[in-house]
A = this chain, B = another copy of it.
Amino acid sequence: MRLSTKGRYAVTAMLDLALNGQDGPVTLADISENQGISLSYLEQLFAALRAKKLVRGVRGPGGGYFLGREADEISIANIICAVDEWVEFTRCQGKQDCRGGQRCLTHSLWDDLSRQIYDFLEEITLADLVERGRNSDAGCDKHKADHLVDEMTGKAA
């Protein structure tokens, strides 16, 4: 599993579609404006999403993008895998020697963990996130985010 800012761009863009795609397609220009991502980079990301049928494009004036299927049928794992190109888990899988050594065990453990992370993200759909956003008054909870950052960086005791 791989989770980077590129994956975040894809997820937020798809969220944008899920939120605004009810009445007509959403243009990449809109998403670019909303999310602060360059238009051409979005086109690159959407080429990958399109290839996995996660979005459907409509050309011409009044065109734009729709979700490729219902929001509750699109998992976060789907989105991230589409743009973040799956990386092989371990090195010893193919050629390498793996005669019951330490290396193989740690790699096997990593595979298990990686699988767990994937399963976790597979369970969360775009619809889940949208629904969650509706329930919490959310908006721009800056303090919550700050607190989270503090926790990560070990500043908060």
Q: How many copies does the complex hold?
A: 2
Residue A143 interfacial (CB < 8 Å) = yes
A82 to B150, CA, bound (A): 13
Interface presence of A29 (CB below 8 A): no
Say whether A38 faces chain B, with CB atoms less than 8 Å apart: no
A:59-118 near B, CB below 8 Å: 76, 81, 86-93, 96, 98-118
| Contact between chains at B102 and A138 (CB < 8 Å) | no
A3 at the interface (CB under 8 A from B): yes
- Given A20-B102, A88-B149, A111-B144, output 6 extra A-B contacts at Cβ < 8 Å: A2-B3, A5-B87, A11-B110, A35-B103, A108-B141, A120-B120
